[in-house]
A = this chain, B = another copy of it.
Amino acid sequence: MNIKDVARIANVSITTVSRVLNNKPEGISPEKRKYVLKIIEETEYRPNGLARGLVTKRTSTIGLMISDISNPFYPHIARGVEDAAETNNYNVVLCNTYWKPDRERHYISVLKEKGVDGIILAISNGKNIDYLNEIIDGTIPIVLFDEPTIRDDVYCVCVDNKKGGYMATNHLIEYGHQRIACLIGPNTTLTSEERLEGYKQALAEANIEYDPNIVMYGGYSEETGIKYMNQIIDEKINVTAVFAASDEIAIGVYKAIKSHGYRIPDDFSVTGFDDVSTRLIEPSLTEIVQPTYEMGQKAFELMFKLLNNVKPRKKTVIFEPDLIVRNSTRRINY
Protein backbone atom coordinates (compact mmCIF):
# COMPACT_ATOMS: atom_id res chain seq x y z
CA MET A 1 0.00 0.00 0.00
CA ASN A 2 1.57 3.26 -1.12
CA ILE A 3 0.52 6.79 -1.86
CA LYS A 4 -0.42 5.84 -5.40
CA ASP A 5 -2.81 3.15 -4.23
CA VAL A 6 -4.45 5.52 -1.80
CA ALA A 7 -4.79 8.14 -4.51
CA ARG A 8 -6.39 5.64 -6.86
CA ILE A 9 -8.82 4.39 -4.24
CA ALA A 10 -9.75 7.92 -3.22
CA ASN A 11 -9.99 9.07 -6.81
CA VAL A 12 -7.60 11.93 -6.32
CA SER A 13 -4.06 12.69 -7.33
CA ILE A 14 -1.09 11.68 -5.23
CA THR A 15 -0.45 15.35 -4.66
CA THR A 16 -3.74 15.62 -2.86
CA VAL A 17 -2.95 12.63 -0.69
CA SER A 18 0.43 14.10 0.09
CA ARG A 19 -1.26 17.32 1.13
CA VAL A 20 -3.48 15.68 3.68
CA LEU A 21 -0.62 13.48 4.83
CA ASN A 22 1.42 16.52 5.68
CA ASN A 23 -1.44 18.60 6.98
CA LYS A 24 -0.86 21.28 4.40
CA PRO A 25 -3.52 23.90 5.01
CA GLU A 26 -3.82 25.17 1.43
CA GLY A 27 -5.08 23.63 -1.70
CA ILE A 28 -7.68 21.18 -0.61
CA SER A 29 -11.34 21.36 0.31
CA PRO A 30 -12.41 20.21 3.76
CA GLU A 31 -14.64 17.44 2.42
CA LYS A 32 -11.98 16.04 0.18
CA ARG A 33 -9.47 16.09 3.00
CA LYS A 34 -11.88 14.26 5.24
CA TYR A 35 -12.55 11.69 2.58
CA VAL A 36 -8.90 11.02 1.91
CA LEU A 37 -8.29 10.76 5.62
CA LYS A 38 -11.00 8.13 5.76
CA ILE A 39 -9.39 6.11 2.99
CA ILE A 40 -6.01 6.37 4.71
CA GLU A 41 -7.59 5.10 7.88
CA GLU A 42 -9.35 2.24 6.14
CA THR A 43 -6.34 1.10 4.21
CA GLU A 44 -4.05 1.54 7.19
CA TYR A 45 -1.68 3.29 4.86
CA ARG A 46 1.60 4.54 6.36
CA PRO A 47 3.91 6.72 4.30
CA ASN A 48 7.33 5.34 3.52
CA GLY A 49 9.85 7.22 5.60
CA LEU A 50 12.74 6.47 3.28
CA ALA A 51 11.05 7.94 0.25
CA ARG A 52 9.93 10.88 2.29
CA GLY A 53 13.39 11.41 3.75
CA LEU A 54 14.95 11.19 0.35
CA VAL A 55 13.13 14.29 -0.76
CA THR A 56 12.81 16.24 2.46
CA LYS A 57 16.32 15.53 3.73
CA ARG A 58 14.82 14.90 7.14
CA THR A 59 14.34 11.60 8.90
CA SER A 60 13.10 12.56 12.36
CA THR A 61 15.87 10.42 13.71
CA ILE A 62 18.89 11.43 15.72
CA GLY A 63 21.97 9.55 16.83
CA LEU A 64 22.99 9.20 20.45
CA MET A 65 26.63 8.33 20.86
CA ILE A 66 27.87 7.43 24.30
CA SER A 67 30.76 5.38 25.54
CA ASP A 68 28.83 2.45 26.93
CA ILE A 69 25.19 2.04 27.84
CA SER A 70 26.09 -0.46 30.54
CA ASN A 71 27.98 2.23 32.40
CA PRO A 72 25.38 3.28 35.00
CA PHE A 73 25.89 6.92 34.18
CA TYR A 74 24.21 6.65 30.79
CA PRO A 75 20.89 4.83 31.04
CA HIS A 76 19.12 7.77 32.67
CA ILE A 77 20.58 10.12 30.13
CA ALA A 78 19.53 7.87 27.29
CA ARG A 79 16.06 7.73 28.74
CA GLY A 80 15.93 11.52 29.01
CA VAL A 81 16.98 11.87 25.40
CA GLU A 82 14.61 9.20 24.19
CA ASP A 83 11.64 10.55 26.12
CA ALA A 84 12.15 14.04 24.78
CA ALA A 85 12.68 12.65 21.29
CA GLU A 86 9.53 10.56 21.42
CA THR A 87 7.55 13.59 22.57
CA ASN A 88 8.65 15.36 19.41
CA ASN A 89 8.20 12.35 17.16
CA TYR A 90 11.85 11.62 16.82
CA ASN A 91 13.64 8.32 17.16
CA VAL A 92 17.10 7.74 18.49
CA VAL A 93 19.71 5.31 17.32
CA LEU A 94 22.03 4.23 20.04
CA CYS A 95 25.78 3.88 19.54
CA ASN A 96 28.39 2.66 22.03
CA THR A 97 31.77 4.14 21.26
CA TYR A 98 33.73 2.72 24.19
CA TRP A 99 35.65 5.98 24.15
CA LYS A 100 37.43 4.93 20.99
CA PRO A 101 37.98 7.78 18.54
CA ASP A 102 37.92 5.40 15.59
CA ARG A 103 34.55 4.11 16.61
CA GLU A 104 33.35 7.67 17.04
CA ARG A 105 34.49 8.52 13.53
CA HIS A 106 32.91 5.38 12.17
CA TYR A 107 29.54 5.95 13.80
CA ILE A 108 29.39 9.55 12.74
CA SER A 109 30.01 8.50 9.18
CA VAL A 110 27.41 5.74 9.34
CA LEU A 111 24.82 7.98 10.97
CA LYS A 112 25.33 10.57 8.27
CA GLU A 113 24.85 7.92 5.60
CA LYS A 114 21.60 6.93 7.22
CA GLY A 115 20.50 10.50 7.17
CA VAL A 116 20.01 11.21 10.85
CA ASP A 117 19.12 14.84 11.42
CA GLY A 118 21.67 15.36 14.16
CA ILE A 119 23.89 13.68 16.72
CA ILE A 120 24.07 13.96 20.48
CA LEU A 121 27.56 12.98 21.40
CA ALA A 122 29.47 12.29 24.59
CA ILE A 123 32.84 12.88 23.02
CA SER A 124 35.90 10.97 24.17
CA ASN A 125 38.29 13.83 24.11
CA GLY A 126 37.12 17.40 24.24
CA LYS A 127 40.59 18.70 24.91
CA ASN A 128 42.12 17.79 21.58
CA ILE A 129 41.21 20.67 19.33
CA ASP A 130 42.22 18.92 16.11
CA TYR A 131 40.06 15.96 16.88
CA LEU A 132 37.22 18.23 17.88
CA ASN A 133 37.48 20.12 14.62
CA GLU A 134 37.49 16.90 12.67
CA ILE A 135 34.36 15.63 14.41
CA ILE A 136 32.47 18.89 14.42
CA ASP A 137 33.00 19.90 10.83
CA GLY A 138 29.67 21.57 10.24
CA THR A 139 28.25 18.83 8.02
CA ILE A 140 25.73 17.75 10.62
CA PRO A 141 24.27 19.36 13.75
CA ILE A 142 25.99 18.10 16.86
CA VAL A 143 25.23 18.62 20.51
CA LEU A 144 28.02 17.67 22.84
CA PHE A 145 27.20 16.03 26.10
CA ASP A 146 28.83 15.60 29.47
CA GLU A 147 32.30 16.45 28.31
CA PRO A 148 32.62 20.21 27.93
CA THR A 149 34.63 21.65 25.11
CA ILE A 150 37.22 24.26 24.48
CA ARG A 151 35.49 25.43 21.31
CA ASP A 152 32.91 27.94 22.38
CA ASP A 153 30.88 27.82 19.18
CA VAL A 154 29.73 24.30 19.91
CA TYR A 155 26.40 23.32 21.41
CA CYS A 156 26.92 21.53 24.65
CA VAL A 157 25.14 20.42 27.78
CA CYS A 158 27.06 19.47 30.87
CA VAL A 159 27.30 19.94 34.58
CA ASP A 160 29.38 22.56 36.33
CA ASN A 161 32.23 20.22 37.08
CA LYS A 162 34.40 22.80 38.73
CA LYS A 163 31.65 23.73 41.10
CA GLY A 164 31.03 20.06 41.83
CA GLY A 165 34.67 19.52 42.66
CA TYR A 166 34.61 22.62 44.79
CA MET A 167 31.48 21.62 46.69
CA ALA A 168 32.73 18.14 47.50
CA THR A 169 36.14 19.33 48.63
CA ASN A 170 34.72 22.24 50.54
CA HIS A 171 32.35 19.95 52.38
CA LEU A 172 35.31 17.85 53.51
CA ILE A 173 37.21 20.95 54.57
CA GLU A 174 34.24 22.18 56.58
CA TYR A 175 34.24 18.83 58.29
CA GLY A 176 37.78 19.53 59.41
CA HIS A 177 39.73 17.59 56.81
CA GLN A 178 42.96 19.03 55.51
CA ARG A 179 44.65 16.05 53.93
CA ILE A 180 42.23 15.22 51.15
CA ALA A 181 43.28 12.79 48.46
CA CYS A 182 41.89 13.54 45.00
CA LEU A 183 41.23 10.51 42.84
CA ILE A 184 40.53 12.27 39.61
CA GLY A 185 39.49 10.83 36.23
CA PRO A 186 41.54 10.39 33.07
CA ASN A 187 43.82 13.30 32.30
CA THR A 188 42.55 13.44 28.74
CA THR A 189 39.17 14.83 29.70
CA LEU A 190 38.15 18.34 30.45
CA THR A 191 35.65 16.93 32.92
CA SER A 192 38.43 15.71 35.18
CA GLU A 193 40.39 18.85 34.73
CA GLU A 194 37.47 20.99 35.82
CA ARG A 195 36.70 18.84 38.83
CA LEU A 196 40.33 19.13 39.83
CA GLU A 197 40.11 22.90 39.40
CA GLY A 198 37.27 22.97 41.89
CA TYR A 199 39.27 20.85 44.28
CA LYS A 200 42.19 23.23 44.04
CA GLN A 201 40.04 26.28 44.52
CA ALA A 202 38.47 24.92 47.67
CA LEU A 203 41.89 24.14 49.07
CA ALA A 204 43.20 27.57 48.16
CA GLU A 205 40.30 29.37 49.79
CA ALA A 206 40.95 27.43 52.97
CA ASN A 207 44.66 28.11 52.79
CA ILE A 208 45.47 24.46 52.55
CA GLU A 209 48.54 23.72 50.55
CA TYR A 210 47.97 21.82 47.31
CA ASP A 211 49.90 18.56 47.39
CA PRO A 212 50.26 16.91 43.97
CA ASN A 213 51.35 13.70 45.63
CA ILE A 214 47.81 12.98 46.74
CA VAL A 215 46.21 13.78 43.39
CA MET A 216 45.96 10.66 41.29
CA TYR A 217 44.77 10.32 37.71
CA GLY A 218 43.09 7.20 36.36
CA GLY A 219 40.05 5.87 34.54
CA TYR A 220 36.59 6.46 35.97
CA SER A 221 36.62 2.90 37.22
CA GLU A 222 36.43 0.78 40.33
CA GLU A 223 39.96 -0.46 39.67
CA THR A 224 41.31 3.06 39.85
CA GLY A 225 39.75 3.52 43.27
CA ILE A 226 41.06 0.22 44.57
CA LYS A 227 44.55 0.75 43.26
CA TYR A 228 45.12 4.21 44.63
CA MET A 229 43.35 3.69 47.92
CA ASN A 230 45.44 0.58 48.51
CA GLN A 231 48.48 2.62 47.78
CA ILE A 232 47.43 5.33 50.21
CA ILE A 233 46.86 2.80 52.97
CA ASP A 234 49.86 0.61 52.26
CA GLU A 235 52.26 3.49 52.02
CA LYS A 236 50.66 5.14 55.03
CA ILE A 237 50.18 8.35 53.09
CA ASN A 238 48.79 11.02 55.37
CA VAL A 239 45.18 11.39 54.28
CA THR A 240 41.93 11.60 56.24
CA ALA A 241 39.52 12.01 53.36
CA VAL A 242 39.12 11.11 49.71
CA PHE A 243 37.41 13.04 46.96
CA ALA A 244 36.58 10.46 44.30
CA ALA A 245 35.73 12.02 40.95
CA SER A 246 33.22 9.33 40.05
CA ASP A 247 30.99 6.80 41.75
CA GLU A 248 32.93 3.90 40.32
CA ILE A 249 36.13 5.26 41.79
CA ALA A 250 34.37 5.73 45.12
CA ILE A 251 33.20 2.12 45.04
CA GLY A 252 36.79 1.02 44.58
CA VAL A 253 37.84 3.25 47.44
CA TYR A 254 35.21 1.63 49.66
CA LYS A 255 36.45 -1.82 48.78
CA ALA A 256 40.08 -0.98 49.47
CA ILE A 257 39.25 0.62 52.80
CA LYS A 258 37.06 -2.29 53.90
CA SER A 259 39.53 -4.91 52.75
CA HIS A 260 42.11 -3.39 55.06
CA GLY A 261 39.72 -3.55 57.96
CA TYR A 262 39.28 0.21 58.15
CA ARG A 263 35.93 1.90 58.49
CA ILE A 264 34.06 4.64 56.70
CA PRO A 265 33.70 7.38 57.85
CA ASP A 266 35.58 6.61 61.07
CA ASP A 267 38.96 6.14 59.46
CA PHE A 268 38.38 7.85 56.12
CA SER A 269 35.72 10.18 54.86
CA VAL A 270 34.78 9.60 51.21
CA THR A 271 32.83 11.62 48.66
CA GLY A 272 31.66 10.48 45.23
CA PHE A 273 30.45 12.10 42.03
CA ASP A 274 27.47 11.21 39.79
CA ASP A 275 24.92 9.41 41.99
CA VAL A 276 24.12 6.64 39.64
CA SER A 277 25.37 3.33 40.90
CA THR A 278 25.68 3.76 44.63
CA ARG A 279 22.10 3.42 45.74
CA LEU A 280 22.86 0.34 47.82
CA ILE A 281 26.32 1.07 49.10
CA GLU A 282 26.94 1.10 52.86
CA PRO A 283 27.56 3.45 54.47
CA SER A 284 25.55 5.61 52.08
CA LEU A 285 27.80 7.82 50.00
CA THR A 286 28.07 11.57 50.36
CA GLU A 287 28.34 12.82 46.82
CA ILE A 288 27.87 15.31 44.05
CA VAL A 289 24.73 14.65 42.10
CA GLN A 290 23.97 15.69 38.57
CA PRO A 291 20.47 15.64 37.09
CA THR A 292 21.20 13.09 34.40
CA TYR A 293 17.66 12.57 33.14
CA GLU A 294 17.04 16.29 32.78
CA MET A 295 20.38 16.71 31.08
CA GLY A 296 19.38 14.10 28.53
CA GLN A 297 16.11 15.86 27.90
CA LYS A 298 17.88 19.18 27.58
CA ALA A 299 20.34 17.77 25.09
CA PHE A 300 17.50 16.72 22.86
CA GLU A 301 15.70 20.02 23.29
CA LEU A 302 18.81 21.86 22.24
CA MET A 303 19.10 19.61 19.22
CA PHE A 304 15.45 20.15 18.39
CA LYS A 305 15.95 23.89 18.40
CA LEU A 306 18.96 23.57 16.16
CA LEU A 307 16.99 21.48 13.71
CA ASN A 308 14.22 24.03 13.61
CA ASN A 309 16.54 26.94 13.16
CA VAL A 310 15.68 28.59 16.41
CA LYS A 311 18.81 29.99 17.92
CA PRO A 312 19.10 28.83 21.51
CA ARG A 313 19.93 31.67 23.85
CA LYS A 314 23.07 29.96 24.97
CA LYS A 315 25.21 27.46 23.16
CA THR A 316 26.23 25.86 26.39
CA VAL A 317 23.74 24.71 28.98
CA ILE A 318 25.38 24.14 32.33
CA PHE A 319 23.52 22.30 35.03
CA GLU A 320 24.12 22.93 38.70
CA PRO A 321 25.52 20.03 40.65
CA ASP A 322 24.12 19.21 44.04
CA LEU A 323 25.84 18.04 47.18
CA ILE A 324 24.02 15.29 49.02
CA VAL A 325 25.49 14.66 52.42
CA ARG A 326 25.03 11.08 53.51
CA ASN A 327 26.98 8.87 55.87
CA SER A 328 30.40 8.49 54.34
CA THR A 329 31.81 11.73 55.68
CA ARG A 330 32.27 12.87 59.27
CA ARG A 331 33.61 15.81 61.20
CA ILE A 332 37.07 15.45 62.62
CA ASN A 333 39.29 17.57 64.80
CA TYR A 334 42.43 18.16 62.99
Q: Is A12 an interface residue, CB under 8 A from the partner? A: no
Given contacts A70-B75, A70-B78, A70-B79, 12 further A-B pairs with CB under 8 A are A49-B115, A50-B114, A51-B54, A69-B79, A69-B82, A79-B96, A83-B96, A86-B96, A91-B95, A92-B93, A251-B280, A278-B280
Which chain B residues lie closer than 8 Å to A112 at the CB level? 46
Query: Can you list 23 contacts pairing A with B, beta carbon distance less than 8 Å?
Result: A46-B109, A46-B112, A50-B115, A54-B54, A68-B79, A70-B75, A72-B72, A74-B75, A78-B94, A79-B96, A82-B94, A82-B95, A82-B96, A91-B93, A91-B95, A91-B114, A92-B94, A93-B93, A93-B94, A94-B94, A279-B280, A280-B280, A280-B281
The chain B residue with its CB closest to the CB of A63 is B91
B282 & A113 in contact (Cβ 8 Å cutoff): no
* Integer count of this chain's copies in the complex: 2
Smallest beta-carbon distance A207→chain B, Å = 37
The chain B residue with its CB closest to the CB of A68 is B79
Q: Is A76 an interface residue, CB under 8 A from the partner? A: yes
Q: Is A59 an interface residue, CB under 8 A from the partner? A: yes
Q: Is A206 an interface residue, CB under 8 A from the partner? A: no
Q: Is A53 an interface residue, CB under 8 A from the partner? A: yes
A70 to B278 alpha-carbon distance, docked (Å) = 14
**Interface size (A, Cβ < 8 Å)?**
44
B92 & A49 in contact (Cβ 8 Å cutoff): no
The 10 closest A-B pairs by CB, nearest first: A49-B114, A70-B75, A94-B94, A49-B113, A50-B54, A50-B53, A93-B93, A280-B280, A70-B79, A280-B281
A239 to B47 alpha-carbon distance, docked (Å) = 58
Q: Which parts of A276-310 form the interface with B (CB within 8 Å)?
A: 277-282, 293
Q: Which parts of A106-122 form the interface with B (CB within 8 Å)?
A: 109-115
Smallest beta-carbon distance A298→chain B, Å = 17
